[in-house]
Structure 1
Amino acid sequence: MTRITVINPNTSVELTDAIALAAREVSGAGVTVRGVHPVDGVPSVESHAEEAIAAVGVLAQVREHQADTDAYVVACFGDTGVQAAREVATCPVVGMTEAALQTACLIAHRFVVVTLPARTVAHSDRVVRALGLEHRCSVVAVDVPVADLVGGSTHLLDAFTDAARTAMASDGAEAVVLGCAGLADLVGPLSEALGIPVVDGVAAAVGIATGLVAMGLNTSRANTFAAVELP
């Protein structure tokens, strides 16, 4: 049995439950998924200050669930706290942003991240540039708060469709990466509307995390992610 712990870095119970449900729907036989979130922190991660606070919560969740986790998925676009979590965790840590972007690379030459709200574009750009993908990936935003995802995201279909179509026309995007956790219910409708593949980062991360465990691979401790002990 492979045990995946999906960490939602914000404190929203509703979003955590929705993210965990979406993760379970794509997990295979022999995989269990648990969704967790910090008890204290921020209700959403939409600024650099909120991201810093949320990263501390991610580390706390990693430390709390070490004994019964085979891999972690961090479900926040921008991969909040992922690098630090890799130093602390005893098993693989997969960020949904990196997972989504790497997955998109396998199915399209050029692609677009459609994120929300507008002020988080820099968070997505950071990961795109860290992976050296700025020549293949553009980032656009639908300017609504993360709180609008509570209860589902299909009401944003028209806005996401318009944003993606603009990128298809201007940048030659051949696939879409959904730039926030909690957007899984947009995958099917958006792909149908656009006629191109749509990648959900949580689903991509669960698949990659499961594969790493199956292959017996863990974070290298040689240098960059050498283990650290926290007080």
Structure 2
Amino acid sequence: MTRGLEPILADLIHPNLAIHYHTGPEPAPPSVNDYTTSVLSAAHTFASLLPRLRLAQEPDAYLVACFSDHPLVEMLREHTSKPVLGIFEASIMHSLALGRPFGIVTTGKYWEAALAGGVKRIFGSLPAFVGVETTGMSALELHELPAERVAERIAAAAERLVARGARTLIMGCAGMSGMEDAVRAGCGGESVQIVDAVRSGVTVLEGLVRAQRLV
């Protein structure tokens, strides 16, 4: 899944921006599907990142590319003064800036309550937040199941959110990056803006780094 992000983000690269990818090593779970796999992925990924955190020239920032209120974000913040952001937070900030009711299209049923709870914990009560609709697939299944079936389920979830009043739709899984057409297919001709959470994360975090250098 990590390798799949490289071509999707390639057009964001410029002479002042380099992206270094890091995947949690085994026995980190291959897909984050619930609280347990969130904690396990955070623990194993954090342990593998510790040497980098101790470098004199550590990265300028860290982006956690799991769409959740992921514990790795706070774990990294405890050990670095560099900006740390999750794609979950970044995409919601992006959506709020657009000023329209927004909702999240994501994977399994577990995330309906988990993501709604994460929005409330980080941002408080947001009248613009319509809610979460799920596809019933895991992050891995987005790329393992037949593409037509995946697109149909994403479109159906998007359609339900639009019916609830959402006019900005967040693709709520790193594995959904590049699947804008499937989301758009469920919008029924409505004027809807689509937010790719990973691309939002990169651009928001880059802006934070540049702003910090100006202070």
- TM interval, short-chain normalised: 0.7 to 0.9
Partner of 2:197: 201
Given that 2:91 and 2:200 are in contact with CA atoms closer than 8 Å, whether structure 1 keeps it comes out as yes
SS, match of residue 157 in structure 1? helix
Say if 2:86 is the partner of 1:99. no
Tell me, in whole angstroms, the C-alpha distance in 2 between the residues paired with 1:28 and 1:83. 29
Distance in 2, Cα, partners of 1:69 & 1:151:
33
1:147 has 2:163 as partner = no
Q: How far apart are the structure 2 equivalents of 1:32 and 1:154?
A: 31
State the match for 1:33 in structure 2. Answer: 19
Q: Is the 8 A contact 2:152 2:182 kept in 1?
A: no
| CA 1:161–1:84: 2 relative to 1, 3 Å | same
**Structure-2 change in CA distance of 1:24 and 1:42 (3 Å):** same
Q: What residue number does 1:185 align with? A: 178
Structure 1, unaligned runs of 5 or more: 1-14, 218-231
Measured on the aligned residues, the alpha-carbon RMSD in Å equals 2.2
Match of 2:128 in 1: 136
Q: Which runs of 4+ in 1 moved over 4 A?
A: 151-154
**Which range moves more in the overlay, 117-126 or 175-184?**
117-126
Q: Distance in 2 between matches of 1:163 and 1:193?
A: 7
Rounded Cα–Cα distance in structure 1 between residues aligned with 2:168 and 2:211: 28
How far the C-alpha of 1:22 sits from its partner, in A, is 2.4
With the length of structure 2 as denominator, give the TM-score of the two structures: 0.84
1:213 corresponds to = 209
**SS where residue 198 of structure 1 aligns?**
strand
Q: Distance in 2 between matches of 1:34 and 1:154?
A: 28
Letter in 2 for 1:77: F
Cα distance change, pair 29–191 in 1 and its aligned pair in 2 (3 A): farther
* Other-structure match for 2:161: 167
The residue identity in structure 1 corresponding to 2:203 is G
- Aligned counterparts of 2:167 and 2:125: Cα–Cα separation in 1: 14
Residue identity opposite 2:8 in structure 1: A
Corresponding residue for 1:51? 38
The question of whether the paired residues in 1 share the 8 Å contact of 2:171 and 2:194 is answered with: yes
Which segments of 5 or more consecutive residues in structure 2 lack a partner in the other structure?
none
Residues 17-26 or 69-78, more deviating: 17-26
The size of the alignment, in residue pairs, is: 202
State the 1:134 CA deviation. Answer: 4.3
1:30–1:193 Cα change, 3 Å: farther
Q: Matches of 1:100 and 1:42 in 2, distance apart?
A: 24
* Letter of the structure 1 residue corresponding to residue 155 of structure 2: T
Change (3 A) 1:62 1:152: farther
Letter aligned with residue 124 of structure 2: G
